[in-house]
């Protein structure tokens, strides 16, 4: 599988000619959906879900399919033709032979005064090669994760919690995402701290810059 980062929390996953885009939001490359076969959306916050962009892509490609939780799907009404599928924790499906599992229910708490929205994570790929995108949560999937796309910065987390999350999931590879609010120096500091926090876990920590990609082997 190939992974391309398209800014902040958005990634393109490609395997055997099938392209799956996760969380194309307002901070993402506007070309993230070009040539996509499927879209997975973790939750409704605009840095993960840009309704107008997704509607435009669906209008341009009648074959494009979307999987998301109920709150996102409700905002995409009118696309018709079974284009949008509502999913929740414990669901499983496949996209042209690529396995997808859904894990999680709620966005991480920002503050007790702020309502928590629903949030699902997507585990994409077969055992031994699975990529997990948790959205805005520290969800630990019930299935093993090979590559963890870890959200490293947001109003709902601190670096110590990110370290604990990595240690709990125990992936073989860690790729930082959700870093659009950090400066270059901030990203460098996060990288240093998370690599140190991994300790003897043996995980490969690799930063992929926005606009760049990597082969997940």
Please report, to the nearest 10 degrees, the dihedral formed by the alpha carbons of residues 11, 176, 211, 46 taken in order. 60
pLDDT tens series, the chain, 217 aa:
999 999 999 999 999 999 999 999 999 999 999 999 999 999 999 999 999 999 999 999 999 999 999 999 999 998 877 899 999 999 999 999 999 999 999 999 999 999 999 999 999 998 889 999 999 999 999 999 999 999 999 999 999 999 999 999 999 999 999 999 999 999 999 999 999 999 888 899 999 999 999 999 7
pTM flag (> 0.85): yes
Residue 49 in contact with residue 43, Cβ under 8 Å? Answer: yes
C-alpha to C-alpha distance for 144 and 133, rounded to whole angstroms: 13
Rg (CA), the chain: 16
* Cβ within 8 Å of residue 113, ≥6 positions away: none
pLDDT tens-digit series, residues 99-110: 999 999 999 999
Please report the domains of the chain, with CATH numbers, ordered by start residue. 2-215 (3.60.15.10)
């Amino acid at each position: 599988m190939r992974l391309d980062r398209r800014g902040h929390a958005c990634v393109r996953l490609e395997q055997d000619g099938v392209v799956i885009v996760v969380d194309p939001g307002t901070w993402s490359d506007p070309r993230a959906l070009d040539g996509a076969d499927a879209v997975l959306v973790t939750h409704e916050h605009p840095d993960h879900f840009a309704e107008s962009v997704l509607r435009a892509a669906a209008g341009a490609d009648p074959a494009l399919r979307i999987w998301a939780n109920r709150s996102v799907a409700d905002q995409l009404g009118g696309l018709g033709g079974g284009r949008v599928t509502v999913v929740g924790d414990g669901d499983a499906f496949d996209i042209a032979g690529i396995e997808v599992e859904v894990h999680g229910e709620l966005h991480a708490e920002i503050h007790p005064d702020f309502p928590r929205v629903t949030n699902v994570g997507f585990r994409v790929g077969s055992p031994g090669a699975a990529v997990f995108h948790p959205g805005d949560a520290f969800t630990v999937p019930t299935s093993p994760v090979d590559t963890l796309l870890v959200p490293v910065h947001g109003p709902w987390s601190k670096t110590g919690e990110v370290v604990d999350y990595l240690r709990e999931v125990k992936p073989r590879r860690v790729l930082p995402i959700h870093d659009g609010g950090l400066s270059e120096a901030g990203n460098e500091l996060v990288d240093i701290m998370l690599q140190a926090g991994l300790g003897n876990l043996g995980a490969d920590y690799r930063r992929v810059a926005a606009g760049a990609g990597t082969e997940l082997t």
